[in-house]
Copies of this chain bind each other. A is one copy, B any other.
Amino acid sequence: MVNFNYYAPTQVVFGRGAEDNLPCLINKYGGTKVLVHYGGKSAIKSGLLQKVEDMLSGAGIAYVKLGGVVPNPRLSLVHEGIELCRKEGVDFILAIGGGSVIDSSKAIGYGVGYDGDVWDVYTRKYEPQSCLPIGTILTIPAAGSEMSDSSVITNDNGDIKIGFSSNLCRCKFAIMDPTRTFTLPAWQTACGVTDMMMHTMERYFSKEDDMEITDALAEGLIRTCMTEGTKALKEPENYEARANIMWAGSLAHNDLTGCGTIGDWATHHIEHELSGMFDISHGAGLAAVWGSWARYAREENMPRFARFAKNVMGIDITGMTDLEAAEAGIQAMERYFESIGMPTNIHDLLGKEVSDAEIEKMADIASHGDTHTLGALKVLKKADIIAIYNMAK
């Protein structure tokens, strides 16, 4: 077990009607002029945006609105948000949506206190000193950004996607009403479940083998995502299934499942290049490459993959070698991904072949021109990344 720092200060207000607490929460955390930041149609169509405006007006809290956040949120809208916040004297950001809206809010929050281009934060040219306080009404459980310290922004060409992590941006509060997720399409539900499972698995497949408490929590969390994910796809308005998924998504990325481990995160980086280049869903991209990563990296800790097969996938591994158990576990997870409609290779993800030139380019960006490695369980150079893309073709 390696030393760790655990800090997850976000106040979670969870359940039916939770959003009625919004004005109190904004007051509690000092908001007097709010940027209401959101995506597109769904917040309008569901009536949530109007309800929020009514609540803010009713409580005498001033606000301005900025919609239009897209999946893989873009830098240009972040710039627009920063300008708007400065012009209007905004002191609090309310993110309505999922990870993209929250991440866009975090980037705006960093940018308001910095004279330069906020992209410098993501390219590591500038270490932010502050972030506007952020609260969220979560409507898409997946990214876990509502309790995490991370945000990922994509440049406007759409070909560079970079993450940045700091405690400064942790949400002050997260309002989560599972009924708001009843209308999520099956594809988005499945992508979300995959993303939260992968947030846990990135931390679980580690070189360390001696953090029983963290492993037990992680295994329980992944199993829950699987059973409740299947249930929510069959019954989109099953409150308990939606509630379990929603809370699992937050716990999967608030560091709880990584206490004492060194996370790997190679699958996330390998996927980021795919969604940066092809603008596909992050969750689907993760499912498409995970099995290939697992087969490439497992030799570094085969007993852990065998444990995964037994404790997470429920496979009786008696009499199997570690390699056989590991392979059985990976295959079972791939069958699960398929059962919820996720691709398990890049062809199924994109609906077309990925070319050698595209693989070369993605591996080059991911490895910063072969000057940078990915992963912790198995350290991957550019050639390794190319090999994994090829295995996942």
Question: Residues of B contacting A248 with CB < 8 Å?
Answer: 213
Residue pair A213, B1 in contact (C-beta under 8 Å): no
Interface-located stretch among A10-18, A44-52, A263-271: A10-18
CA distance A3 to B220 in the complex (A): 21
CA distance A5 to B21 in the complex (A): 11
- Flag whether A70 is at the interface (Cβ < 8 A): no
Interface-located stretch among A85-93, A237-245, A290-298, A329-337: A237-245
- Flag whether A221 is at the interface (Cβ < 8 A): yes
CA distance A213 to B193 in the complex (A): 13
26 contacts between A and B (CB under 8 A): A2-B15, A3-B15, A3-B17, A3-B18, A4-B12, A4-B14, A4-B15, A5-B13, A5-B14, A7-B9, A7-B12, A9-B11, A14-B259, A211-B243, A211-B244, A212-B224, A212-B244, A213-B220, A213-B221, A213-B224, A213-B228, A213-B247, A214-B247, A216-B221, A217-B251, A219-B220
A216 and B212 contact, Cβ closer than 8 Å, known pairs A15-B3, A247-B260, A260-B243 = no
Residue pair A7, B18 in contact (C-beta under 8 Å): no
Within the oligomer, what is the number of copies of this chain? 2
Q: Mark A212-237, 1 if CB is under 8 A from B, else 0.
A: 11101101110110011000000000
Residue pair B240, A259 in contact (C-beta under 8 Å): no
- State which residues 246-277 of A face B: CB under 8 Å: 247-248, 251, 256, 259-260
CA distance A239 to B1 in the complex (A): 9
Question: Residues of B contacting A227 with CB < 8 Å?
Answer: 212
| Distance between A138 CB and nearest chain B CB, rounded to angstroms | 13
Beyond A1-B239, A212-B224, A217-B220, 15 extra complex contacts between A and B, CB < 8 Å = A3-B14, A3-B17, A3-B18, A4-B14, A4-B15, A7-B11, A210-B240, A213-B220, A213-B224, A213-B244, A213-B251, A216-B221, A216-B223, A217-B221, A247-B260
Interface of A toward B, CB cutoff 8 Å: 1-9, 11-18, 210-214, 216-217, 219-221, 223-224, 227-228, 239-240, 243-244, 247-248, 251, 256, 259-260
CA distance A300 to B4 in the complex (A): 41
Question: Residues of B contacting A247 with CB < 8 Å?
Answer: 213-214, 259-260
Enumerate the 7 nearest inter-chain pairs by beta-carbon distance, A residue then B residue, closest first.
A3-B15, A216-B220, A9-B9, A6-B12, A210-B240, A7-B11, A213-B224
Residue pair A216, B211 in contact (C-beta under 8 Å): no
CA distance A259 to B217 in the complex (A): 14
| Distance between A228 CB and nearest chain B CB, rounded to angstroms | 6
Question: Residues of B contacting A3 with CB < 8 Å?
Answer: 14-18
Residue pair A228, B240 in contact (C-beta under 8 Å): no
| Distance between A2 CB and nearest chain B CB, rounded to angstroms | 7
Question: Residues of B contacting A18 with CB < 8 Å?
Answer: 3
CA distance A338 to B247 in the complex (A): 36
CA distance A211 to B239 in the complex (A): 11
Question: Residues of B contacting A13 with CB < 8 Å?
Answer: 5
CA distance A14 to B258 in the complex (A): 13
